[in-house]
Amino acid sequence: MTLISTIAPHVPYLRRYARALLGEQGVADAFVRSALQALAAGERTPPAGANARTGLFCIFHGVLEASGMPQTPGSGPLSSEDLGPVQRLQRIAPPSRQAFLLTALEGFSIEETAQVLAVAPSRIEQLIARAQREIDAELATEVLIIEDEAVIAADIEALVLDLGHRIGGVAASRTEAVLLARERPPGLVLADIQLADGSSGIDAVKDIRSLADVPVIFITAFPERLLTGERPEPTFLITKPFQPETVKAAIGQALFFHPRRREAGSD
C-alpha cells in the first residue's frame, strides 16, 4: 500500500479542518492540494513515528506555515444569531484556533496536536484554554439546568456562572423544565436523564426542542440509555461523576458548533 493510498481516507477530514481554520473553501482546498502535491513529490514527509492521519496534518501545517497564515475574514462583532461556526472561528487568534479545532473538531489528543503544531503539549493546553475563554466570552447565553439532585445542580450552576453564562432556571422534573423553557427560552440546556419524580430528562429535552432549536448536553449516570444505536445519539454526553473541566469544554463546544446562536434572555 502506497503512502498516498494510506492517507487518502483522511483527506476529507483535512479539507473540513482547513475550511474551518481558513474560513473559505477555495483557499482551504488550495492549501490541501499543495500539501498533497508536496507529499507526492517527496518534498515533505510525515514525522517519524506519526500515524497516517497525524502525518497528513503535519504536512498540511508545514505547507501552511511556509506560506504564511492567510488573513481571514470576520473581525467584526458577533451581532447576528445567524453567524455560523466558521465565521465565529475567525475571531480566535490562529494558534488557539488551530489547537481548538484539532482537538474539538478533529478529535486529536493533546500529544497528537502538539506533534501537528510542532510545540510542547503544555503549550497546546494553554492555547486551548485561551480559545475556550474567547469562545465563552463571545457566546455567553442563558442556561437551563435539568437536574433533581440539589448538590449536583449547585455544582453545575457554579460552573455555568464561572464561564460567564446566565442561569435561566434549575428544573427537577420534565414539567418544570418545559415551563421554565417557555418562560425564559434557553440558549443551552444541561440535562440529567433520570429525574426524581420518575419523569425523563430525554422527554423534557424533546419538548423543549419542539419549541426552539437549542444545543443540549446530557450529564448522567446512565449513558447506556442514550448510547443505544437505535436513535440519533447526543453529540455531547458526560458521565457522572464528572470533571468540571470536561463540562466547561463541552459547554464551549456545544455553543460554538451549534448552527444557530440564540441570544436567549437578552434584551
Q: Are 162 and 206 contacting, i.e. CB atoms less than 8 angstroms apart?
A: no
* Rounded mean pLDDT, 106-130: 95
Quick: pLDDT tens for 158-195: 999 998 899 999 999 999 999 999 999 999 999 999 89
Res. 204 pLDDT band, cuts 50 70 90: very high
Nearest residue to 124 via CA among 102, 106, 91, 157: 102
CATH architecture classification, 3-137: Up-down Bundle (1.20)
Residue 120, pLDDT score: 97
Residue 139, pLDDT score: 80
- 264 phi and psi angles, rounded to 5 deg: -65, 140
Is 3.40.50.2300 the CATH number for 141-257?
Answer: yes
- 262 phi and psi angles, rounded to 5 deg: -110, 120
The CATH 1.20.140.160 domain(s) of the chain lie at: 3-137
The CATH 3.40.50.2300 domain(s) of the chain lie at: 141-257
Quick: pLDDT tens for 45-73: 999 889 999 999 999 999 999 987 665 54
**Amino acid of residue 64:** L
Nearest residue to 19 via CA among 8, 7, 31: 31
Query: Which residue is associated with the grid cell 426552539?
Result: 212
Quick: pLDDT tens for 10-28: 999 999 999 888 888 889 9
Crossing angle for the helix pair 52-67 and 11-22, nearest 10 degrees? 40
Nearest residue to 58 via CA among 93, 24, 108, 128: 108
